[in-house]
A = this chain, B = another copy of it.
Amino acid sequence: MRSPDELRALVEARLAALPFAAELGRLEEALRYSLLGGGKRIRPVLCLATGEALGRPPEETLDAGCALELVHTFSLVHDDLPALDDDDLRRGQPSAHVRFGEDVAILAGDALLAEAFRLVLAYPTPEVGRVLASATLGMIGGQYLDVTTDGELDGPGLAELHALKTGRLLQASVLCATAVAGVDERGWAELGREIGLLFQIVDDILDATGTAEELGKTPGKDEAAGKVTYVSLYGLDRAREFADEARGRVLDCLAELDADTSVLAQLVDTVRERRA
Contacts and interface: CB of A to CB of B under 8 A. Distances in A.
A115 B103 contact: no
Interface stretch (A88-96, A135-143, A252-260): A135-143
Contacts of A26: 144, 148
A113 B109 CA distance: 11
A145 interface: yes
Interface in A119-165: 121-126, 129-130, 133-134, 136-138, 140-145, 147-148, 164
A138 B107 contact: no
A70 to B, nearest CB: 12
Interface string A7-48: 000000000000011011111000000000000000000000
Interface stretch (A76-84, A191-199, A207-215, A239-247): A76-84
Residue among A20, A21, A124, A125 having the largest count of chain B Cβ atoms under 10 Å: A21
Contacts of A230: none
Contact of A83 (B27, B106, B133, B137): B106
Given A107-B147, A126-B126, 10 more contacts: A21-B137, A27-B141, A83-B101, A83-B103, A84-B103, A107-B144, A117-B117, A121-B121, A121-B133, A122-B130
